[in-house]
With several copies, the nearest count.
Chain A
Amino acid sequence: MEASVSAAVNVSMLAMSVIFTVLIILIFTIKALVKLIPYEAPPAPPARKVSASSPPEQDDQVAAITASLAAHIGKRPDEFRIVNIQSR
């Protein structure tokens, strides 16, 4: 038997110390993080804008849908206008 029980006890004490050391460092890291970056309630979702400045993604969608629609109804894209996309 290569390993003795006393060695095992030594290793165990050491390892538990290391574990507590590492996790205590982690606790302080988390506490520092939480203090530095406090929780802020997420803002209420903004009301849908009806003005020209719709979000850029919707611009894409309008462009894509317009082009498809144009292809489908056989009109040039500037002969009609999509006013609003309503997601359900």
Chain B
Amino acid sequence: MEFSFSSSTQKIVNSTAFTTLESGDALMIGIACLLVYLAIWKKFEPLLLLPMGFGCLLANVPMSMMASTDTGGLLNFFYQGIKHEVLPPIIFMGVGALTDFGPLLANPTVLLLGAAAQIGVYMTLIGAVFLGFNMQEASAIGIIGGADGPTSIFLASKLAPHLLAPIAVAAYSYMSLVPLIQPPIMRLLTTKEERKIKMEQLKPISQTVKIIFPVAVTIVCCLMLPGVTPLLGMFMLGNMFRESGVTARLHETAETHLINIVTIFLALAVGSSMTAESFLRLETLKIIALGLLAFAFATAGGVIFGRIMCKVSGGKVNPLIGSAGVSAVPMAARVSQKVGSEEDSSNFLLMHAMGPNVAGVIGSAVAAGVFLSLFGDVGSSIDTHAALAPVIGNPEAGIQALATVVEVIKQ
């Protein structure tokens, strides 16, 4: 090898990213800066969008080896944690450790509001199919209406990994826009009188019930929809750490440093999948548009079902708490409180809205479970995992059973 001054100079000049920087890369760097701007100055879910934007910035420096597709690169390494569905469940454990199910347990019928708000998911699914996405893709896009970041990322990585980046960006962005998107819809769909309804105070709940609840949810929901176990099970485990009263150490770690560490890695990895090739497509615009649809319909679904519950209960339920059924904890509950107190400043809906709010988290997880039951396929997961554990046992007996059944039905 020669190291003359001129040949070395040539080598350095050729290795700068400028020589291969294309307009797409530059545009993506601009988008990365926009995300960082929104995170910091507009406070759009900064814990996620700041590292996500920064990951996007790093990934789009040509030759930096930081894109999620650059085998051997740092962010590709973190990306394995999404691909193999390790990171979202750990985040969900932390969310569970942060969640108080008290208001939900005090008034369990609000679970119906968490179910009704899922209509946003399905309106979006239909819209996405209409716009040309296939069923798996449409499901992953629809779940944006679930307004839960980890659920969206988990489902997208299973059903439509090539759409992960725009779905994650849409999910977190609209979540931040909940205070802008929801109020007009809420006012449009309710009457002044309904908005003034004051709800009865919640009755206190035994600590024992709070402890048994996560186990009960796990058994009921996971037996019915096994595909969602990693997400819902870890969510409930985090809640057990919180409520059991005997695992304070684990609770503290799960809700602070562990969720923080995993958030950094997850957000960087999602950002690293935002390359020009995967993001600068018509699909991205479609997904952004569908995401808005998802949030709007989810809000409407919750509010309309709230009115139904209001009627049925003889005016005891303020329909404004329905909008909190989209989840986006605790933002959406605050919006219910705010819109309610605009009509009557002595109306305190926050605690009542926390019930549907956490119900919405369970609701979207269940919705994700339904999609996994219908369209889930573990092929890719097994392929990639093969590298980690060569001794592949029997690939998921359950799915094989399912396949057999499907075969039989077809005949």
Touch between chains A and B, by CB atoms below 8 Å = yes
Binding site for B on A (CB under 8 A): 1-5, 7-16, 18-20, 22-27, 29-31, 33-34, 37-41, 52, 56, 59-60, 62-64, 66-68, 70-71, 76-78, 81
Contact of B209 among A4, A11, A37, A63 (CB under 8 A): A37
Contact partner, A60, options B216, B346, B350, Cβ 8 Å: B350
Task: Give the distance to chain B from A14, nearest Cβ to Cβ, in Å.
Answer: 5
B134 touches A2 (CB 8 A): yes
Q: Within the assembled complex, what's the spacing in Å between the Cα atoms of A15 and B104?
A: 23
The answer to whether B225 touches A16 (Cβ under 8 A) is no
Q: Which residues of B contact A63 (CB under 8 A)?
A: 337, 341, 348-351
With A15-B371, A33-B212 as given contacts, are A3 and B201 in contact (CB-CB < 8 Å)?
no
B350 contacts A67, CB within 8 Å? yes
Q: Once the chains bind, are B349 and A26 in contact (CB under 8 Å)?
A: no
Q: Which 3 A-B pairs have the closest CB atoms?
A: A7-B3, A12-B122, A67-B351
Residue in A23, A60, A62 with the greatest tally of chain B CB atoms within 10 Å: A23
**A63 vs B354: C-alpha distance in the bound complex, in angstroms?**
12
- Report the bound CA distance from A1 to B132 in whole Å: 6
Is the CB–CB distance between B198 and A38 below 8 Å? no
Distance from B15 Cβ to chain A, minimum over Cβ atoms (Å): 11
With A22-B366, A37-B208, A63-B350 as contacts: A31 and B5 at CB distance below 8 Å: no
Q: Is the CB of B138 within 8 A of A8?
A: yes
User: Hey, which bits of chain B sit against chain A, CB under 8 A?
Assistant: 1-5, 8-9, 12, 104-105, 108-109, 111-112, 114-115, 118-119, 121-123, 125-126, 128-130, 132-135, 138, 198, 200-206, 208-209, 212-213, 216-217, 220-221, 224-225, 334, 337-338, 341, 345-352, 359, 362-363, 366-367, 370-371, 374
A8 B208 Cβ-Cβ under 8 A: no
State the Cβ distance, A85 to closest chain B Cβ, in Å. Answer: 14
**B104 partner residues in chain A, CB cutoff 8 A:** 30
27 CB-based A-B contacts, threshold 8 Å: A1-B134, A3-B129, A3-B133, A7-B2, A7-B129, A8-B129, A9-B126, A10-B3, A10-B4, A10-B5, A11-B122, A12-B125, A13-B5, A15-B374, A16-B122, A20-B112, A24-B112, A33-B213, A37-B208, A38-B206, A39-B204, A63-B337, A63-B350, A63-B351, A71-B201, A76-B201, A77-B347
Main secondary structure of the interface of B (DSSP, over half): helix
Question: A52 touching B206 by the CB < 8 A rule?
Answer: no
A57 nearest in chain B by CB position: B334
CB distance from A46 to the nearest CB of B (A): 18
B115's partner among A20, A33, A37 (CB-CB below 8 A) is A20
- Beyond contacts A34-B206, A70-B201, A77-B348: 9 other A-B pairs, Cβ-Cβ < 8 A, are A4-B3, A10-B3, A12-B123, A22-B224, A26-B362, A30-B104, A30-B213, A34-B105, A39-B209
Option from B8, B201, B203, B212 in Cβ contact (under 8 Å) with A10: B8
Q: Give B297 Cβ to nearest chain A Cβ, in Å.
A: 11
Contact B212 A23 (CB under 8 A): no
The DSSP consensus for interface residues of chain A is: helix
Chain B nearest CB, measured from A15 CB (Å): 4
Q: How far is the CB of B210 from chain A (nearest CB, A)?
A: 10
Q: How far is the CA of A59 from the CA of B130 in the complex (A)?
A: 42
Q: Which residue of A lies closest to B350 (CB)?
A: A63
A22 B334 Cβ-Cβ under 8 A: no
Q: Verify A11–B363 contact, CB threshold 8 A.
A: no
From residue B36, how far is it (CB to closest CB) to chain A in Å?
15
Min CB gap B153→A, angstroms:
20
A81 CA to B216 CA, complexed, in Å: 38
Contacting residues, chain A, for B208 (C-beta < 8 A)? 37
Q: Taking A8-B129, A23-B111, A27-B109 as contacts, is the C-beta distance between A52 and B122 under 8 angstroms?
A: no
Question: Do A8 and B3 have beta carbons less than 8 Å apart?
Answer: yes
Contact yes or no, B108 A30, CB < 8 A: yes
Residues of chain A contacted by B350 (CB below 8 angstroms): 60, 63-64, 67
Q: Is the CB of A19 within 8 A of B118?
A: yes
**Most B CB within 10 A of own CB, among A10, A26, A38, A41:** A26
Residue pair A27, B3 in contact (C-beta under 8 Å)? no
Query: What's the nearest-Cβ distance from chain A to residue B403, in Å?
Result: 19
- Are the C-beta atoms of B371 and A34 separated by less than 8 Å? no
Chain B residue contacts of A29, Cβ below 8 A: 216, 220
Complex Cα distance A81/B112, Å? Answer: 32
Q: Using known A-B contacts A22-B225, A71-B201, determine if residue A33 contacts B111 with beta carbons closer than 8 Å.
A: no
In the complex, what distance in Å separates the CA atom of A83 from the CA atom of B213?
Answer: 36
- Considering only CB atoms, which chain A residue lies closest to B352 in the complex? A67
On whether A7 and B135 interact (CB within 8 A), knowing A15-B371, A19-B370, A77-B201, the answer reads yes
- B115: chain A residues at CB < 8 Å are 16, 19-20, 23
